[in-house]
Amino acid sequence: MVTDPILELTGVVAGYGPLTILHGTSFTVQRGAITTIIGPNGAGKSTVFKTVFGLLPVRSGRILFEGTDITGETPRALLARGLSFVPQGRNLFPELTVRHNLELGGITLHHAGELQRRMRAVMERFPILREKADVQASTLSGGQQKILEIGRALLLEPRLMLIDEPSIGLSPILVKEVFAILQELRRRGVTILMVEQNARSALAISDDAIVLEQGRTALAAPAARILEDLRVGQLFLGGGVASAPRPDEIPLPGAATEGEPGGAVDARQALDDSRSGE
C-alpha cells in the first residue's frame, strides 16, 4: 500500500502542568483523508490537537508535518506552514460582523488584495456567509457559526485542518450539513483530522480511525473496519455485542503494549481477551 503521511506523531508526551495526558502517543495521518480520533473521555483527544498546534509544549517525542519537524513551533508559524485548527465550542467574536470575523482569520496575510480575494472565495463556497456578511456573528444559528469558523480557518488555504467536536451543540440536520462540508473539503484536497463525540457518524464519513486510550494509541485502522468491529463498537461507540476484532487491525508504532496500566475501557485488553478465546 502506498502511503503519503501529512502528519506524524512519534512518542509524544505532553500535558498540563504536572499532569501528563499523552504518554508516548504515536500515529500518522494520510494526506487527502478524513481521519477521526475516538476514545473514552480523558483519553487525550483534544490534548493531541493542542499539542500538535503548539498550544501545549511537547515534553518528549517528535511531530512531523509534511516531513518537516514542527515540534515546538508556534501556532502562527504552523498557520503559515498550512496547518489550521478549529477548536471545540464557539470561537468567534460575537459582537463583530461575519465579515470582520473572517478578516481576523487572515490576519497573517500581508497583502490586503490577497485577503479580499480569499474572503470572496470563502463566501462563494459558503453563500450563507456572503448573505450574512454585515450582521453580528452572535445572530447566527449554531450551524452557521460553525460554518463561519470553518470558513475562517480556510482563509489561509490550509493543507491540514484539525477540527475538534464540530457537531457539539448542533441539531442532527446541522450535523449532517457540517459533515457534508468536511467531505467537500476532502474532495478539494484538504486533509481533515477530527475529534468527534458523535463517533458513528464521524467514522461513516472517515477514511481512517485512531483509537486513543489513556494518552496512548491503542488501535489504528480504516474507519469502516472500526464501524464493523462489534467488539470495538461495544467499547467505544456504545452498544453492540462482543465479537473478536479482526487480526489485521494493526496498532501503530509506539502504541500501548501488554502490561501497561488499564482503565475501565481498555481496547488492548479487549484484543488480548478475544485472541485468547475468553
Domain closes at, from 141, 157, 173: 157
Rounded Cα gap, residues 32 and 245, in angstroms: 27
What residues make up the domain containing 109?
83-157
Number of domains forming the structure of the chain: 2
Q: Tell me, what CATH number does 200's domain have?
A: 3.40.50.300
Do 143 and 164 lie in one domain? The reply is no
Residues forming beta bridges with residue 15, ordered by sequence position: 20
Do 135 and 266 lie in one domain? The reply is no
Q: How confident is the model at residue 255 (pLDDT cuts 50, 70, 90)?
A: very low
In terms of DSSP bridges, do strands 5-16 and 19-30 run parallel, antiparallel, or are they unpaired?
antiparallel
Do 15 and 125 lie in one domain? The reply is no
Determine the pLDDT at residue 203: 94
Q: Is residue 78 a part of any domain in this protein?
A: no
* Residues whose CB falls within 8 Å of the CB of residue 209, separated by 6 or more in sequence, listed in order: 35, 36, 37, 38, 203, 219, 220, 221, 222, 223, 226
What value does the mean pLDDT of the chain take? 83
Which cell numbers hold the place of 233? 463498537
Domain closes at, from 139, 157, 175: 157
Do 151 and 241 lie in one domain? The reply is no
State pTM to two decimals: 0.80
Closest CA to 193 of 204, 181, 207, 180: 207
Closest CA to 48 of 163, 140, 132: 163
Q: How confident is the model at residue 136 (pLDDT cuts 50, 70, 90)?
A: very high
Do 22 and 149 lie in one domain? The reply is no
Q: Is 241 helix (H, G, I), strand (E, B) or coil?
A: coil
Query: pLDDT tens for residues 61-85?
Result: 999 999 999 999 999 999 999 999 9
Give me the residue label for grid cell 450563507.
128
Domain closes at, from 121, 136, 157: 157
Q: Looking at residues 186-199, what average pLDDT do you find?
A: 93
Do 51 and 90 lie in one domain? The reply is no
